[in-house]
């Protein structure tokens, strides 16, 4: 921890204790660190803001009196009102009330803590604190947050999931507009068709318009799965039963050179899920597995219940610790190179242009699983196969 290095303190923050005491005693933050420097309250926040240090100042009751801009950003908030006045522990994953140090006024390193971002995602930070004897005339605690050593503030995966969320919103907006346009085309083409003699030379053309626009409507319907307004009807659902149902469909439709295996944990807890959407997501993944095995292979679906410790949850960025149902879908197909793996959840990304791929299967699966407060992760090696873990 090196936030209190002497040169900066001398240049920007400091006034000799004696000077300040005589002029504006109430506006100071004191006592000071061991070197005898004291910080005027009016300089503290602007300085930390200028240095882009994520920080906040807590009241003795644990509420946030002041949240710096970088701290807001770190938590994914843009409005200080969403943070100021709230209990600091509301932003902690474990919700433990924050212990206010009794006497010590020197900086204390509190180790690593886990913060909850507005999106629900979890990030680890190192916290250092220092007791202030006066901030806005109250006793307070300065909290400074730092990247834990060897880790990034926001993982690449988290940035990636934010990008996907933005793409999802964009796609949903376009889908709504298209939906309205296509409804108009289908409506008019249907009316024309009902009024025109089938012998008329344009009858065929109108039929082509109608069938093309119905295909477009189907595609847009799939895009609408993105829409935030799509109501999910969640109820306690047996994932094993849902997979069994899916298997009935797969065994009837997959080529016989694809062997389907299952290992389903009998003691799986029920999950709050919209079975239709979740089944669609799993189906999309299985269809990709089929496409990846043009010469046949094995598709294995496994379920088990897992406990994610805070550390494991953090590694699976964005999940909260707790008990989860894990579904793994493994194929022995062509696999993917790392570049492809980075893009697969983006809407419209496909490597199957000539096979009629639309690049929506995994984008939809991703959205559906996010809306079930789950995560989807991929491991793949070219020529070796792919595992999706949900």
Which of 70, 288, 317, 380 is close enough to bind Mg ion by CB under 5 A? 288
Backbone dihedral angles phi then psi of residue 88, each to the nearest 5 degrees: -60, -35
**DSSP letter assigned to residue 12:** I
The phi-psi region of residue 58 (left if phi > 0; otherwise alpha if psi is between -120 and 50; otherwise beta) is: beta
Least distance from C-beta 266 to ligand ADP, angstroms? 27
| 319 forms part of the interface with ligand ADP (CB under 6 A) | no
| 168 forms part of the interface with ligand ADP (CB under 6 A) | no
Least distance from C-beta 356 to ligand ADP, angstroms? 8
Secondary element (H or E) of residue 375: none
Least distance from C-beta 335 to Mg ion, angstroms? 15
242 vs 360 by CB, closer to ligand ADP = 360
User: SS3 of 141, please?
Assistant: strand
The interface region with ligand ADP, picked from 20-28, 87-95, 193-201, 330-338 by CB under 6 A, is 330-338
Which of 122, 258, 273, 334 is close enough to bind ligand ADP by CB under 6 A? 334
CB 333 within 8 A of CB 293: yes
CB 318 within 8 A of CB 161: yes
Least distance from C-beta 328 to ligand ADP, angstroms? 12
The interface region with Mg ion, picked from 50-58, 126-134, 265-273, 356-364 by CB under 5 A, is 356-364
| 386 forms part of the interface with Mg ion (CB under 5 A) | no
d(Cα 89, Cα 64) in Å, to the nearest integer? 10
Binders of ligand ADP among residues 233 to 292 (CB under 6 A) are: 284, 288-289, 292
Which of 361, 369, 371, 372 is close enough to bind ligand ADP by CB under 6 A? 361
26 vs 354 by CB, closer to ligand ADP = 354
User: Among 115, 119, 221, which residue's Cα sits nearest to residue 166?
Assistant: 119
d(Cα 187, Cα 192) in Å, to the nearest integer? 9
DSSP β-ladder status, 122-135 and 108-116: antiparallel
Binding site for Mg ion (CB under 5 A): 288, 361
């Amino acid at each position: 921890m090196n936030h209190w290095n002497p040169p900066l303190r001398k240049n920007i923050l400091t006034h000799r204790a004696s000077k300040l005491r005589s002029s504006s005693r109430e506006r100071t933050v004191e006592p000071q660190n061991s070197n005898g420097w004291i910080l005027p309250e009016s300089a503290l926040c602007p300085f930390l803001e200028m240095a882009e240090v994520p920080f906040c100042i807590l009241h003795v009751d644990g509420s946030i009196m002041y949240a710096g801009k970088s701290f807001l950003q770190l938590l994914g908030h843009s409005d200080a009102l969403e943070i100021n006045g709230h209990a600091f522990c509301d932003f902690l994953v474990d919700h433990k009330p924050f212990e206010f140090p009794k006497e010590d006024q020197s900086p204390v390193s509190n180790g690593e803590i886990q913060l909850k971002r507005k999106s629900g995602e979890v990030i680890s930070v190192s916290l250092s604190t220092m007791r202030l004897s006066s901030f806005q005339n109250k006793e307070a605690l300065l909290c400074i947050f730092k990247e834990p050593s060897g880790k990034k503030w926001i993982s690449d995966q988290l940035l990636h999931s934010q990008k996907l969320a933005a793409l999802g919103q964009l796609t949903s907006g376009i889908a709504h507009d298209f939906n309205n346009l296509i409804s108009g085309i289908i409506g008019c083409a249907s009316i024309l068709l009902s009024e025109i003699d089938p012998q008329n030379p344009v009858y065929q053309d109108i039929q082509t318009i109608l069938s093309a626009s119905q295909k477009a409507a189907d595609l847009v319907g799939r895009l609408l799965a993105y829409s935030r307004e799509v109501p999910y009807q969640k109820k306690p659902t047996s994932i094993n039963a849902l997979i069994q149902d899916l298997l009935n469909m797969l065994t009837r439709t997959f080529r016989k050179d694809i062997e389907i295996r299952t290992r389903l944990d009998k003691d799986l807890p029920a999950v709050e899920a919209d079975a239709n959407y979740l089944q669609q997501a799993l189906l999309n993944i299985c269809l990709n597995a089929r496409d990846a095995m043009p010469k046949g292979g094995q598709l294995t679906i496994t379920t088990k219940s897992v406990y994610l410790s805070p550390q494991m949850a953090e590694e699976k960025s964005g999940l909260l610790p707790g008990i989860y149902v894990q579904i793994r879908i493994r194929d022995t197909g062509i696999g993917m190179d790392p570049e492809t793996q980075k893009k697969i959840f983006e809407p419209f990304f496909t490597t199957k242009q000539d096979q009629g791929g639309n690049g929506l299967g995994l984008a939809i699966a991703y959205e559906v699983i996010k809306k079930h407060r789950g995560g989807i992760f991929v491991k793949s090696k070219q020529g070796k196969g792919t595992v999706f873990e949900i």
